[in-house]
Structure formats: structure tokens, C-alpha cells
């Protein structure tokens, strides 16, 4: 990784944290409704994975705001989507869990836990069939590894040697359920190991995540089949805005926050890439400005027109299905 890329990753992590804090504030003010799952604490993982896997198709979870932005979707369009405005990346109809931009090869955001995994495998099959080599990356939480679709996806991806990275964000919780209450192990890579090579990485270390994903992308492009990466991470907030997260002790949270990915990246920038304080402050200012502009844009944008209500729906009775 060179200095420029390290600075870019730091910029997007800072932007992501501030974006999420602004989203939280506007949710509490009533500007955002529905579900809102914040990525605070996991930004290093989200940003580094996107920056490492620049080309190729990405399928993600509902906790995807920071990934969408790091993928190159304008923060204005992401915030406007959270506000339910027509200028949003999904025209205000998807909301927080359905950020979708085919021009960035970013296919959500999926509200169904693990629902994105078989979709991503289907896409990997299509890419292989067409001999397009970039490959696919699918991101999901530890909770998603308990579902049948997960195992079916590992099975067929392995049997057909599909070019896909399975990236598990293990933050140890599925809402309030600690993973070892519903899984025989803490490490979810043990479930994938019979099917494909697996690798574990510290998800609070953006540089380590970047290197793991980059290496995995090279491997899947060689036609050797899928790879599973497990990144151990920590979400600071509750599962969503309707969860206080009170099932975790203050001590547990303190240990988590001592690993803060943004502080670690800042330290790496200073010590390994010799970035000076002025450079770091200017990246932070730029991130803050982007967030303020995103909120202003979202707040001043119009809502979708009522006439659009039945557009983009698969609904035979609505008369808009092309047969
Ligand atoms: C198929 C399905 N089952 C249950 C739910 C309810 N649900 C929403 S989020 C969630 C927890 C998922 O946890 P995890 O996969 O670890 O992701 P994280 O929220 O930690 O990022 C559950 C059970 C759902 N949305 N879809």
C-alpha cells in the first residue's frame, strides 16, 4: 500500500464514521425513518474491503452505508436515500437497507439475512460463464452463516470453482444473540474450511483487511475457486436504532473501542507513511464537509412523486410488468 492509498482509506473511514453519526442524529430528529443499522466500529473493514476489491461485483448486507460510499457512490445520494428522497441512490424507495448502484457494480444492501449470498454466487457463475475475470465479493455477518442458503452457496461455489470471495464480518452478535449461543464455534471460517481455503484477519486493522482481500482477489482470478475470509470486528452501536445494545457489558465495549480502526489507521499514517498532522487534519476537514453537504442535499431534496409508487415493482396487477 502506498501513502496516497493509505490517506484515501483514512479519508473514507473518517467520512464513514461522521456520516454514520450524522445519520444517527437525523434519525433521532425524525428525518430518517424505518430501519437504520450503523457501521460505527467496522469502518476499517468496510472501506478497506471496497478499496482492495475495486473491480468486480459486490453484494452486501443491510449494514452497508460506508461500503456504498467507499465504493464510490456519492455520499449525497446515500444520505438522500436514508431520508427517502427522490435524489437517493435508489430514488428514495429502498432506504438504508437497499443502496443499489449497478454503475458501481454494487448490488445492495439486502434486508434478508444471508439473502445476498446465493445471489452473489449466481453472479459469480455468470461471470465465469462469460469468462469475465474480475470476480465477485459477498459480505455478510456471522449470524448469516447459520442459514441453509450459506451452506448451499459454499457447496456449489466450491463444486463449480466460482470466482468469489466470501467475506464474513464477525462482530460476534446477531442482534442480541452472542454467536457461540447458536454456533458451535466462534470462528465461522470453520464452517467454510471443508469447502475452500479460509483466512482470518483482524477486521479492526484496515491495512490487514486490504491485503487479505487483495490477495484473495488475485487467487480467485486464477481460476482456483472461491475463498473465505473471516474478519473479526466490533460494532459500537446497537444492532439498529431500535436496539440499545445493553446485552454487552461496559468492559466488553471498552476492550472493543481500544482497537478503534480509525485511531489505528491514523497511527499507521503517521508512523509508517510519515503523514504530517496538517495532512491528516485536512483529510478530516474534507470528510466533515462532505457529510455536511450530504445532509444539506438530502434535507433540501424532494420526495418521490406519488405517481412513481408502482414503478420498479414486480407486480402483475400494476400493469408495469414487461412480459
Ligand atoms: C432470513 C432472516 N432471518 C431473520 C432476520 C432478522 N434479523 C435481522 S438482522 C439479524 C441479525 C443478523 O446478524 P449478522 O448476520 O451477524 O449481521 P450483523 O447485524 O451483525 O451485521 C436478524 C436475525 C432477517 N432479516 N432475515
Taking residues 90-98, report their average pLDDT.
Answer: 95
Q: Is 80 exceeded by the pLDDT of residue 10?
A: yes
- Distance, in Å, from the CA atom of 219 to the CA atom of 270, rounded to the nearest integer, reads 31
Q: What is the pLDDT of residue 123?
A: 97
Atom of ligand 1 nearest to the CA of 179: 16
Residue 182 DSSP code = T
What's the mean per-residue pLDDT of the chain? 95
Nearest to 287 by CA among 5, 87, 9: 9
Hey, which of 114, 174, 233, 242 would you mutate to test ligand 1's pocket, going by the most ligand atoms within 8 Å of its Cβ? 174
Q: Is 70 exceeded by the pLDDT of residue 322?
A: no
| Matching residue, cell 484496515 | 206
**Residue 62 cell numbers, joined:** 443491510
C-alpha torsion 318→116→27→250, nearest 10: 160
Q: What is the pLDDT of residue 323?
A: 46
Distance, C-alpha 16 to centroid of its chain:
11
Alpha-carbon distance values, 285 to 47, 169, 263, 278, 282 (Å): 18, 29, 16, 10, 5
Hey, which of 39, 113, 147, 180 would you mutate to test ligand 1's pocket, going by the most ligand atoms within 8 Å of its Cβ? 113
Q: What is the pLDDT of residue 290?
A: 98
Q: Is 60 exceeded by the pLDDT of residue 321?
A: no
C-alpha torsion 7→47→96→313, nearest 10: 110
Mark residue 165 as left, alpha or beta (left: phi above 0; alpha: psi -120 to 50; beta: remaining): beta
Taking residues 54-66, report their average pLDDT.
Answer: 96
Q: What is the pLDDT of residue 49?
A: 98
Q: Indicate whether this model's pTM tops 0.85.
A: yes
Q: What is the pLDDT of residue 318?
A: 67
Instruction: Give the tens place of pLDDT for each residue, 199-212.
Output: 999 999 999 999 99
**Residue 94 cell numbers, joined:** 429502498
* Protein residue whose Cα sits closest to atom 18 of ligand 1: 141
Taking residues 270-274, report their average pLDDT.
Answer: 95
Report the pocket of ligand 1 as residue ranges, CB < 6 Å: 61, 63, 111-113, 140-144, 169, 171, 173-175, 239
Taking residues 58-66, report their average pLDDT.
Answer: 98
For the beta sheet containing 100-101, the strands, ordered from the edge strand earlier in sequence to the opposite edge, are: 100-101, 106-107, 57-59, 136-141, 164-170, 227-232, 198-202
- Distance (Å) from CA 143 to ligand 1 centroid: 6
Q: Quickly list DSSP for 198-267.
A: EEEEETT-HHHHHHHHHHHHHHHHTT---EEEEEE----S-SSTT---TTS-HHHHHHHHTT-HHHHHHH
Do β-strands 136-141 and 177-178 pair in parallel, antiparallel, or remain unpaired?
A: unpaired
Size of the chain, expressed as the number of residues it contains: 323
**Residue 8 cell numbers, joined:** 484515501
- Distance (Å) from CA 112 to ligand 1 centroid: 7
Instruction: Give the tens place of pLDDT for each residue, 154-199.
Output: 999 999 999 999 999 999 999 999 999 999 999 999 999 999 999 9
Residue 109: asked if its preceding bond is cis (omega within 30°), the reply is: yes
* Protein residue whose Cα sits closest to atom 2 of ligand 1: 113
- Distance, in Å, from the CA atom of 66 to the CA atom of 49, rounded to the nearest integer, reads 11
The beta strands (E) that lie in 57-163 are given as 57-59, 100-101, 106-107, 136-141
Q: What is the pLDDT of residue 319?
A: 64
Contact 141, 63 (CB under 8 A): yes
Amino acid at each position: 500500500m502506498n501513502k496516497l492509498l493509505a490517506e484515501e482509506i483514512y479519508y473514507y473511514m473518517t467520512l464513514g464514521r461522521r456520516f454514520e453519526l450524522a445519520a444517527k442524529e437525523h434519525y433521532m430528529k425524525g428525518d430518517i425513518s424505518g430501519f437504520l443499522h450503523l457501521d460505527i466500529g467496522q469502518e476499517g473493514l468496510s472501506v478497506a474491503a471496497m478499496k482492495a476489491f475495486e473491480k468486480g461485483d459486490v453484494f452486501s448486507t443491510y449494514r452497508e452505508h460506508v461500503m456504498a460510499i467507499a465504493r464510490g457512490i456519492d455520499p449525497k445520494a446515500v444520505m438522500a436515500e436514508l431520508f427517502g428522497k427522490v435524489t437517493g441512490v435508489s430514488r428514495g424507495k429502498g432506504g438504508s437497507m437497499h443502496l443499489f448502484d449497478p454503475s458501481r457494480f454494487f448490488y445492495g444492501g439486502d434486508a434478508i439475512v444471508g439473502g445476498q449470498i446465493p445471489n452473489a454466487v449466481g453472479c459469480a457463475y455468470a461471470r465465469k460463464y462469460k469468462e469475465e475475470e474480475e470476480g465477485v465479493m459477498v459480505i455478510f455477518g456471522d449470524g448469516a452463516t447459520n442459514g441453509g442458503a450459506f451452506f448451499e452457496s459454499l457447496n456449489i461455489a466450491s463444486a463449480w470453482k466460482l470466482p468469489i470471495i466470501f467475506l464474513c464480518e464477525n462482530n460476534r452478535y446477531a442482534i442480541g444473540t452472542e454467536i457461540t449461543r447458536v454456533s458451535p464455534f466462534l470462528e465461522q471460517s470453520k464452517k467454510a474450511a471443508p469447502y475452500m481455503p479460509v483466512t482470518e484477519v483482524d477486521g479492526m486493522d484496515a491495512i490487514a483487511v486490504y491485503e487479505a482481500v487483495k490477495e484473495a482477489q488475485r487467487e480467485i482470478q486464477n481460476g482456483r475457486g472461491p475463498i473465505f475470509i473471516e474478519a473479526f470486528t466490533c460494532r459500537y452501536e446497537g444492532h439498529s436504532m431500535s436496539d440499545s445494545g445493553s446485552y454487552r457489558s461496559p468492559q466488553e465495549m471498552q476492550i472493543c473501542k481500544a482497537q478503534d480502526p480509525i485511531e489505528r489507521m491514523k497511527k499507521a499514517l503517521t508512523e509508517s507513511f510519515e503523514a504530517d498532522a496538517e495532512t491528516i487534519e485536512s483529510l478530516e476537514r474534507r470528510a466533515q464537509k462532505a457529510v455536511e453537504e450530504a445532509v444539506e442535499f438530502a434535507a433540501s431534496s424532494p420526495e418521490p412523486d406519488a405517481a412513481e409508487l408502482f414503478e420498479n415493482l414486480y407486480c402483475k396487477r400494476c400493469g408495469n410488468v414487461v412480459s
